[in-house]
């Protein structure tokens, strides 16, 4: 498997091989890397349009952090929800589901949609729970999907459920651009619960239209689901372009089975495998010496596309400019020589 540096410098060496008259700095390595990203994305779209299965090497792992979540940034309500999350864990990848309950616990502003003010919060937490306390609540009261065993009608409320919205690097628009999306409860200080109740579950991905319609389906309206909300360029994002993903119907708070009192907000960790337009923006990508997400057998085709469609044109233009410059220099020199002869 090759890295981005290896692919890019190999293309540059092949393009400039045997040409000593052209300044190699005319086409920078940064430009070549941009072409590598572009033609990789084009390959992926071609696979999809031809009905071929996408090789798994195209996909990358990614995990969103709190800065990717709009309502967990410091600019939202003075960072109240982020502060609430830090009471549970300082792990930057532990996310809270936004709900009326969580907003009230954090004393954050809510919208009419989030909190119609028809109920009061039972009890706010005065101090963070210990890891053993949180684990005990999860073990005793939660089933595999993070829902309680006790009777919903007595202690359950729609306000207990919320959503997680987060940004990811721009996705290639091929079947959502996501292979799979998983979510699990996060432990204290970055530890992940390993018991059956808190292991990762796959979240079904819907189109935005399907997600809207599911609200009116008696069989799916209360199930966990996700969809790509939008593809935008945000001034608050760490990415050049981003996609917003939303996971709905997540339980946002722990509640006591006996009296229904709120114990604590629930931290979640989200994982996904996606097709990113710029692979260097994926969270598990460290630097350009990492393995580049493309099957090894397709690298030669990628090289050929860039050499024939981009480098050849660029080098030809540069060569023409150099020839024109030489011709102009000869004309100027010839005129200068004639002027000198006339004066003599």
DSSP, residue by residue, 162-216: EEEEEEEEPBPSSGGGEEEEEEEEB-GGG-B--SGGGS-EEPPEE-HHHHHHHTT
Under 8 Å between Cβ of 250 and 199: no
Instruction: Give the CA count within 13 Å in the CB-facing half-sphere of 277.
Output: 15
Q: Which position has the token pair 């996501």?
A: 178
Q: What is the pTM of this model?
A: 0.74
Is the pLDDT at 319 greater than 60? The verdict is: no
| 106-115, 231-240, 271-280: range with lowest mean pLDDT | 106-115
Report pLDDT digits (tens) over 73-127.
Answer: 877 767 888 888 888 888 888 899 998 888 888 875 444 344 333 333 333 333 3
Distances (CA, A) of 38 to 4, 34, 47, 56, 250: 13, 6, 14, 18, 36
Report pLDDT digits (tens) over 207-218.
Answer: 888 888 887 777
pLDDT of amino acid 27: 74
Is the pLDDT at 189 greater than 50? The verdict is: no
Q: Is 127 helix (H, G, I), strand (E, B) or coil?
A: coil
pLDDT of amino acid 242: 87
Q: Which position has the token pair 């589901």?
A: 97
Secondary-structure breakdown of the chain: helix, strand, coil percentages, each rounded to the nearest 5:
45, 20, 35
**What is the C-alpha to C-alpha distance for residues 284 and 154, in angstroms, rounded to an integer?**
44
pLDDT of amino acid 26: 61
Is the pLDDT at 316 greater than 90? The verdict is: no
pLDDT of amino acid 234: 63
Q: What percentage of residues in the chain have a pLDDT greater than 90?
A: 34
What backbone torsions phi and psi does residue 233 show, to the nearest 5 degrees?
Answer: -115, 110
Say how many residues make up the chain: 344
Under 8 Å between Cβ of 242 and 169: yes
Kindly state the average pLDDT of the residues 33-37: 96
| 141-155, 191-205, 267-281: range with lowest mean pLDDT | 141-155
pLDDT of amino acid 297: 95
pLDDT of amino acid 236: 63
pLDDT of amino acid 41: 96
Q: Where are the domains of the chain?
A: 4-56+292-343, 60-274
Is the pLDDT at 134 greater than 70? The verdict is: no
| 8-17, 204-213, 314-323: range with lowest mean pLDDT | 314-323
Sort strands 225-232 and 205-206 into parallel, antiparallel or unpaired. Answer: parallel
Closest CA to 105 of 89, 127, 90: 127
DSSP structural state of residue 78? G
Distances (CA, A) of 248 to 43, 62, 143, 212, 261: 33, 19, 18, 11, 23
Is the pLDDT at 55 greater than 90? The verdict is: yes
pLDDT of amino acid 140: 37
């Amino acid at each position: 498997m090759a890295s981005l540096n290896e692919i890019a410098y190999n293309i540059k060496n092949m393009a400039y091989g045997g040409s000593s008259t052209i300044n190699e700095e005319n086409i920078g390595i940064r430009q070549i890397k941009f072409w590598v990203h572009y033609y990789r994305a084009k390959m992926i779209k071609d696979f999809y349009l031809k009905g071929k299965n996408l090789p798994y090497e195209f996909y990358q792992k990614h995990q969103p952090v709190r800065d990717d979540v709009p309502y967990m940034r410091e600019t939202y309500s003075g960072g109240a929800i982020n502060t609430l999350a830090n009471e549970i864990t300082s792990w930057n990848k532990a996310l809270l589901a936004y709900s009326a309950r969580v907003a009230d616990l954090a004393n954050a502003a809510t919208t009419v949609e989030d909190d119609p003010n028809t109920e009061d919060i039972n009890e706010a937490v005065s101090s963070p729970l210990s890891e053993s306390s949180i684990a005990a609540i999860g073990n005793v009261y939660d089933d595999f999907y993070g829902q309680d065993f006790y009777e919903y009608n007595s202690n359950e409320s729609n306000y207990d459920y919320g959503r997680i919205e987060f940004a990811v690097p721009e996705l290639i628009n091929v079947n959502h651009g996501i292979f799979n999306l998983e979510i699990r409860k996060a432990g204290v200080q970055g530890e992940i619960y390993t018991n059956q109740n808190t292991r990762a579950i796959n979240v079904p991905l819907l189109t935005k239209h399907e997600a809207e319609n599911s609200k009116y389906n008696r069989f799916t309206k209360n199930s966990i689901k996700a969809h790509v909300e939008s593809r935008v360029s945000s001034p608050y994002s760490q990415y050049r372009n981003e996609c917003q993903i939303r996971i709905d119907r997540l339980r946002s708070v722990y509640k006591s089975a006996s009296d229904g009192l709120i114990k604590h907000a629930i931290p979640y960790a989200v994982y996904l495998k996606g097709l990113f337009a710029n692979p260097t923006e994926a969270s598990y990508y460290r630097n350009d010496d990492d393995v580049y997400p493309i099957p090894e057998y397709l690298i030669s085709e990628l090289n050929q596309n860039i050499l024939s469609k981009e480098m050849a044109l660029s080098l030809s233009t540069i060569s023409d400019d150099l020839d024109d410059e030489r011709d102009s220099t000869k004309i100027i020199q010839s005129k200068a020589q004639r002027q000198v002869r006339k004066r003599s």
